[in-house]
Structures are given as C-alpha cells and as structure tokens.
Amino acid sequence: MIKKYFRTLFIIVIAVVQNIQGQEIQIFSLEDFDLKGQVKSCLVSTDYGKEEYDFNKKGFLTKSVTRYNDQDYDAVYYKYSNGELLEKRSESYRNNTFDASTSIAHFYSIDSTDTMKIQERIFSYDKQFLDEYIYVYDEFGDLASIKRTNNDGTDVTQIEHKKFQGENTITYLLNDVPLKSIRTSTQKLKNRPEQRIVLTKEYVKGEENFAFEEVFTLDGRLMAQQEFEYNVQAKKFEPTTRTSYTYDDMGMLVSETAKRGAGIIKKEYIYQYDKKIEGNWIKQIVTPDNTYTTRKITYYPADTKVIEK
C-alpha cells in the first residue's frame, strides 16, 4: 500500500547513518514500493530529490540511490544468495566524490545447524570494524535475541513473545530495559470484516513515552492510526492525533484525514497509471497541497518461448 511505500522510502534514506538496534534484517521487494510485474527499475522524483531503485528478476531490491542534487547522493547495494541477504554496502558521495569516512559495508552469514542464527558484521570502507550483531531465532522461527558487540562493549536485546487470549505481544528489552512492545490482536465486528489491531508502545530509559495503535484489514491495508502521548502526572497514555485512510477499488490510497482536537487536515491522492498490464502508477498528485510525485518505471522484457515444429 502507499503508506508502506513511503515508510520504505524513509527507511532507505536513513539506512546509511542509522544505528539499528532491536530490528530484524529486512529484505526489500517490489511490494514494499507498491510495484507490480517484472519491474527492472523505478526512478522517483520528489520535492527533496530523486530516488532510484533497481530490482532483480525475483523482485528483490538490488540497488537504491537517493539524489539530493546533481553532486550529492547516497547509494545502497544489496547482494543475495538463494533468497538470503549476504551483503549490503552503503556508499556516500559528496561533490561527486566518494566519501569513505561515511560509507560502510554489512556482511551476513547464516548458521542453521540448530536454531537459526544470523551474524551481521559492519566495517567502514577503510576496513575498520564497527559493529557485530548476532540474531538468534527460536524453534518457532521468531527472533529471540540480538547481541551487539563493538569497541564500547556488548549489549543484548531480548525479544519476548507472549500469547494470551488471542493477543500476541512482542517486547524488546535492551539489557533488560524495555525499548518497545508490539501487541497484535484480531477484532470481530458485527456486520463488518475482521480487523487486525496493532498497538506499539515506545519507551525512553525504560519509561513509557509514546504509543500508536494501527487498524488493518486482514489483507494488510492500513485503515486508521491513533497516536498517544504519555501523561507523566496522570500516569497514563492520552490520545492525540487520529488518522483514517480510504482506498479505491484497486486498493490505492485516495484520502487521508488527520484529526487532533478541533483541527482536521485532509489530503486526497490522485493517480495516473502506465499502460502496462501491471497498472503501476506513474504520477501521484496530493491535494490541497498540489504536490506531486512521479515515477519512471522500466520493465524486464517478456520471456519469449520458442515453439519447436
């Protein structure tokens, strides 16, 4: 969906400098960018610059480039083997010159002799060791812990999974201090389809700080999001902004309405599509801002079959 697409854009943009803790390794595919069919590349033009994405024939992202201007850009390269991520290289270019001081390389190895274990080692381009992460999964395939080691020492993020009365709660704890919790449940409504409710709480120094609740259809379409801020004096979360989303028959986001107190902000989305059978959008107009995003999409040529007589 569109919401997922722009979240992915944000993740790619900050990937070069982000210090990730308590997050699973992500492999991006066409679906994350709201693309369908045999897409080879996608050039996105926005108000802050341009995004370029390349995909292999299996639909995995192999390269992303964020261009801020003609001379400054960041590039991320992905290398796979049998559908698993083996290597990710994040390179920075300023004044059309490669900047080794801010460029890093991630190398991954998988050990599945017992339960799944993934090692991620991060180096600078001058071959200085920066970080090592060990991702350990339990017998059910759920991420159970992340061990981070660098020159400052070792930190362990534990991931607890609890199921109770149809609710599934995942809690991230860094050295036994809570970082985040995610509770997922299914809500059955009279005369309406079931919904999936996801409540995420974020902590600062172990104290509750911020939360948001998302409502999804069972096929993953985000319908609403309620934000909360923690009132220290009242010792409870209080609702702030609620945003609702509507979609057309193709599943495309067509309107977004945010309410905070007496204030209401509404956006509407208008699309133009390419003429391919896949029907990918190539222009998105947002009103009343009258901003727009354009996409230039290149496809792999259709495989031709030779019929022997």
**One-character DSSP codes across 186-243:** EEEETTEEEEEEEEEEEEETTEEEEEEEEEEETTS-EEEEEEEEEETTTTEEEEEEEE
Phi, psi of 8 (to 5 degrees): -65, -40
End-to-end Cα separation, the chain, in angstroms: 45
> Which positions ≥6 away from 17 have C-beta within 8 Å?
102
Instruction: Please tell me the distance from the alpha carbon of residue 91 to that of residue 123, in angstroms, as a whole number.
Output: 12
The parts of the chain modelled with pLDDT lower than 70 are 1-24, 304-309
Token code pair at residue 58 = 């299996």
Instruction: Please tell me the distance from the alpha carbon of residue 270 to that of residue 253, in angstroms, as a whole number.
Output: 9
pLDDT at res. 14? 35
Question: Which DSSP string corresponds to 58-106?
Answer: TSBEEEEEEESSSS-EEEEEEEEETTEEEEEEEEEEETTEEEEEEEEEE
pLDDT at res. 23? 55
Which of 27, 36, 31 has the alpha carbon at shortest distance from 297?
Answer: 36
Helices (H) and strands (E) in the chain, counts: 1, 20
Give per-residue pLDDT as tens, 73-129: 999 999 999 889 999 999 999 999 999 989 999 999 999 888 899 999 999 998 899
- Contacts of 189-196 with C-beta under 8 Å, sequence gap 24+, read 193/217, 193/218, 194/218, 195/223
DSSP collapsed to 3 states, 28-58? CEHHHHCCCCCEEEEEEECCCCEEEEEECCC
pTM of the model: 0.82
**Residue 7 parent element (H or E):** helix 2-14
Give per-residue pLDDT as tens, 43-64: 999 877 899 999 999 999 999 9
